[in-house]
Chain A
Amino acid sequence: MGLLGKLKAALRSIFGKKHVRIGIYGPPNAGKTTLANRIARDWSGDVVGSVSEIPHETRRAQKKDNVVIKNGDSSLTIDIIDTPGIATKVDFHEFMEHGLSEEDSRRRAKEATEGVIEAIRWLDNVDGVILLMDSTKNPFTQVNVTIIGNLEARDLPVLIAANKIDLDGSTPATIKSAFPQHDVVPISALTGYNIEMLYEVMVKLFGKARRK
């Protein structure tokens, strides 16, 4: 460890570890809960919520507190907020196409709209964001642009995770070229591929964030 590293470690031992609240954001079905579960399982042996192929499976924000992520000599304590997917439209017919009854689909649609509102409101209460994008899809969407714009306006650190790189047709390079001003880490939340790189960048980037 260099002199600077020793100094940082000494300061950490005096002032304690950094503790930040990190929101996992993205459109529906990007893999937010899969990632939240992966992080929680890797560092605390627990899970955050259930996952499904049906969009808007997460309709209330789910929280996992005090997850300690380590990277070499550095560590970061985070509260993970797994947020509902943000969308500009919710059509109950889409859920019926996944085999849900009309009644269940209508209820799910109503809950999904409430989830979107909750996710947006959480933006005021996070210290940083992991924005998850499906790397098999076009990243130039208004939802992505709106989330990033809000984070930039709030001066919050954002880490883009280009998810689903285990799938055919995945092009994380497109995400990198679409958002060159931000850190982009290609991962598979499902298989854990490149997840160590994500942790490394998380500790580095969010370690600078200040808790509200």
Chain B
Amino acid sequence: MTEIKVNLISHQKLESMTVDEKIDFILEEVKHGEVLVLERGLTPEEQSKLIEKTMKEIKPDKFIGIEIEGYREDGKVTWLQKVLGKIRPPRMTVIGPADKLKTIHRDDNIIKTIILGR
């Protein structure tokens, strides 16, 4: 029987980190083959930083990148909230190594993935 490990990461753990620490933590875990489910995902800026850093870490025979799927942020931010620097909170997100985690379906309400055992 193939064991599949999934790590559920609380929002408190990530919120205590800086953006760089957060990205490094996620990437290190994923490079070691871990699949993470973040209680609250990453902001769009954090996501683009994660993609950027992932590209730097790709090694053709070892690490081909990440699979990431998350629900879009809820609601709209008003002009005043923007001025005050308020952002819509990110939502649940799953991240894993691209050679292990595959998305088979995604829409606004359902994300279906499979994790390939080794």
Given known pairs A142-B70, A146-B48, the reply for A88 and B65 (CB within 8 Å) is: yes
Whether B108 sits at the interface, judged by CB under 8 Å, is yes
Nearest B residue to A178 via CB reads: B108
CB pair B60–A150 under 8 Å, yes or no, is no
CB pair A113–B66 under 8 Å, yes or no, is no
- Chain A residues whose C-beta falls within 8 Å of the C-beta of B99 in the assembled complex: 91
Closest beta carbon of chain A to B112's beta carbon, Å: 11
A86-117 CB mask vs B (1 if < 8 Å, else 0) is: 11111110000000000000100110011011
CB pair B52–A91 under 8 Å, yes or no, is no
A120-158 CB mask vs B (1 if < 8 Å, else 0) is: 110100000000000000101110011011101101000
Nearest A residue to B107 via CB reads: A140
Closest beta carbon of chain A to B82's beta carbon, Å: 7
- Stretch of B1-9, B17-25, B39-47 contacting A (4+ beta carbons < 8 Å): B39-47
Closest beta carbon of chain B to A84's beta carbon, Å: 11
Given known pairs A91-B98, A116-B52, A120-B48, the reply for A109 and B67 (CB within 8 Å) is: no
Whether B35 sits at the interface, judged by CB under 8 Å, is no
- Chain B residues whose C-beta falls within 8 Å of the C-beta of A88 in the assembled complex: 51, 54, 65-68, 98
Whether B118 sits at the interface, judged by CB under 8 Å, is no
Closest beta carbon of chain B to A85's beta carbon, Å: 12
Whether B106 sits at the interface, judged by CB under 8 Å, is yes
Given known pairs A91-B65, A149-B73, the reply for A116 and B55 (CB within 8 Å) is: yes
Closest beta carbon of chain A to B61's beta carbon, Å: 9
CB pair B47–A89 under 8 Å, yes or no, is no
CB pair B52–A117 under 8 Å, yes or no, is yes
- Chain A residues whose C-beta falls within 8 Å of the C-beta of B65 in the assembled complex: 87-91
Whether B87 sits at the interface, judged by CB under 8 Å, is yes
B55-80 CB mask vs A (1 if < 8 Å, else 0) is: 11010100011111110110010000
CA distance A145 to B55 in the complex (A): 18
Partner of A149, one of B44, B52, B56, B64: B44
- Chain A residues whose C-beta falls within 8 Å of the C-beta of B70 in the assembled complex: 142, 145
- Chain A residues whose C-beta falls within 8 Å of the C-beta of B60 in the assembled complex: 91-92, 106, 109-110
CB pair B108–A155 under 8 Å, yes or no, is no
- Chain A residues whose C-beta falls within 8 Å of the C-beta of B76 in the assembled complex: 181
Besides the contacts A89-B65, A153-B45, what 9 more A-B pairs have beta carbons closer than 8 Å? A88-B54, A88-B65, A88-B68, A88-B98, A106-B60, A114-B55, A145-B70, A146-B47, A150-B45
State the B residues within 8 Å of A (CB). Answer: 43-45, 47-48, 51-52, 54-56, 58, 60, 64-70, 72-73, 76, 82, 87, 98-99, 106-108
